[in-house]
Structure 1
């Protein structure tokens, strides 16, 4: 059996997508390949594959130890995607960005969750031949659509009005996620209910922390901030909503999009090039606040349009399902193990 050791601290900080992606992959391997893979966690014993999910300094040091097998790095972010996320001052910002790229260069192979990041990594001198695209995915057992009766029950449990159109945002509360536009949209549409699930996972170093913290304390009447919600309860919020909105200015491949799509929610996003490579025409997009507002209004007024994008969400969910991607991960590990033995 193939030995795979996972190096990760992704689940230590709640409410971030890296942790969700890591949890999904571990679940996939356990459910599908317990007879083919021996998976260990943060161990320094000999292994065939060392899969690095986070860039912790102790993990970086471990890459110099013998017995690590093929070193695989999971690219969840690049230095430029930290803009608007964390408030780092120079020279610490430059040092950290240099460190991240050095970490990626230490890997024998990298996995990206969005193909648009292959040319971006190439600019840092990393050969595209050492990069494989394997997208994120979610399990239907955790994220699935419910009927109207269940939806109403969930709204009652979560203190969400039964008779309102509900717009849901999910992610860390930070400038990069477009939370200020989300708040502005809530003010523009007081007749709708807006909910942002997530919190300040990185505390005061979150970009825009002071301003956002004040709004979270005193939000508009039609905007709820329930904070960081445990992953096993996230499906309740998706199923209680009518529309998923993520107005982020910079992303890789948010897990929240897949979770929302798997629960049957129409997807509305800021118009970013990277989405075109992964979800094509199966979502609505707005270049700015005005266009995002127009899309919301159109969906509220036109039931047929809403149903159309519910169907498109189902296409996203099918494309990025565990069933479709399970063998891709197994084959990848097997291939990388063979390369290490050459």
Structure 2
């Protein structure tokens, strides 16, 4: 059994969650001993498609014509496409029609969370959907024996409030900026690739100088892990996620976590058990104070968070994917 892992526009998406998800799939399949290729011209038995572009649909159609089973990963939804790129809100209805067409043609769908599964089902799609986390490399995102170089490199002298992600309005970057403005006693750093296809109001934030706010852009894995390990708080104010790989990385690194209270985290992240959840802007301020000044059991939270990350370790994800492939492959050869 050989699997085609296909992701369109690798150069565009390599610094995004979809790019990270593909990396995770590759590592997970290697750990599980599953043979895979990234080249659609090679022979394969199952196509596992991660994107919804023109080439992705072509791979889907050609695979079906050849009698091969096709899995489409539902990384993209109408809800998470909005408030991201320039013109994303204008394009979102077209994207929704496109993803419905592609998802409906698949033999099986994989969603990264129960929340995303329910969103996809709400579109009227009735394909079988398996839920498999995007996973995290818990060996990599581990603060034991790592070089703590981030604060020194970026001249961080105050408690570090960290966030990671593409600088989209949907990710909560405006709130992050306003928190930095409100809380000069902390250093705020947002890591993530700076793109040309973002609205002017976001570019204005990225270019506006606050003494306690930095936007270093995309950094190496070594620098990223150091940032997690040196942060007082990982603050992720995103309004819409399908899972949030950076949340898993924070949990794995035992970085105290503050998130927005949105539906995707229901049933697996709990307030004061493994994170702090914020409903309002003032909640974020209060929750930062609770963690930085040890007014909550931070040790319990990060230990519980690490257990969640270990459940979603890539070795476990590889086993789940292998079982799904095996099930669909058996259908193919019968």
Q: Structure 1 length as normaliser, TM-score? A: 0.89
Instruction: Give the CA RMSD over aligned residues.
Output: 2.1
Aligned partners of 1:46 and 1:67 also within 8 Å? no
- 1:126-275 aligned at under 5 Å gives the runs 126-127=125-126, 130-146=128-144, 150-151=147-148, 153-161=149-157, 164-201=158-195, 203-204=196-197, 206=198, 209-231=199-221, 233-275=223-265
Which secondary structure state, in structure 2, belongs to the residue aligned with residue 111 of structure 1? strand
Q: Distance in 1 between matches of 2:75 and 2:89?
A: 23
Question: Is 1:39 aligned with 2:33?
Answer: no
Aligned length: 329
Gaps (5+ residues) in structure 1?
A: none
Q: Distance in 1 between matches of 2:55 and 2:316?
A: 34
CA separation of 1:233 and 1:21: change in aligned 2, threshold 3 A: farther
Q: Distance in 2 between matches of 1:46 and 1:301?
A: 57
CA separation of 1:220 and 1:254: change in aligned 2, threshold 3 A: same
Q: Distance in 2 between matches of 1:94 and 1:193?
A: 38
Q: Distance in 1 between matches of 2:115 and 2:261?
A: 15
Q: Deviations over 1:111-170 (max 9, x none)?
A: 000112223222222226x100011211123211136x943x442234322xx2111001
Q: Distance in 2 between matches of 1:173 and 1:154?
A: 20
Deviation (angstroms), 1:21:
1.2
Q: Distance in 2 between matches of 1:92 and 1:274?
A: 23
Q: Distance in 2 between matches of 1:68 and 1:56?
A: 21
Aligned match of 1:29: 29
Deviation (angstroms), 1:9:
2.6
Which secondary structure state, in structure 2, belongs to the residue aligned with residue 42 of structure 1? coil
CA separation of 1:60 and 1:308: change in aligned 2, threshold 3 A: same
Aligned partners of 2:78 and 2:93 also within 8 Å? no
Q: Structure 1 stretch 18-27 or stretch 271-280: which is displaced more?
A: 271-280
Question: Is 1:341 aligned with 2:333?
Answer: yes
Aligned match of 2:319: 327
Aligned partners of 2:252 and 2:306 also within 8 Å? yes
Aligned match of 1:302: 294
Deviation (angstroms), 1:267:
1.0
Q: Deviations over 1:188-232 (max 9, x none)?
A: 11011110001334x23x3xx212212212231111100122345
Match 1:289 to one of 244, 256, 281: 281
CA separation of 1:277 and 1:56: change in aligned 2, threshold 3 A: same
Q: Structure 2 length as normaliser, TM-score? A: 0.91
Aligned partners of 1:47 and 1:67 also within 8 Å? no
Aligned partners of 1:4 and 1:40 also within 8 Å? yes
Which secondary structure state, in structure 2, belongs to the residue aligned with residue 61 of structure 1? helix
Aligned partners of 2:29 and 2:35 also within 8 Å? no
Match 1:61 to one of 58, 61, 65: 58
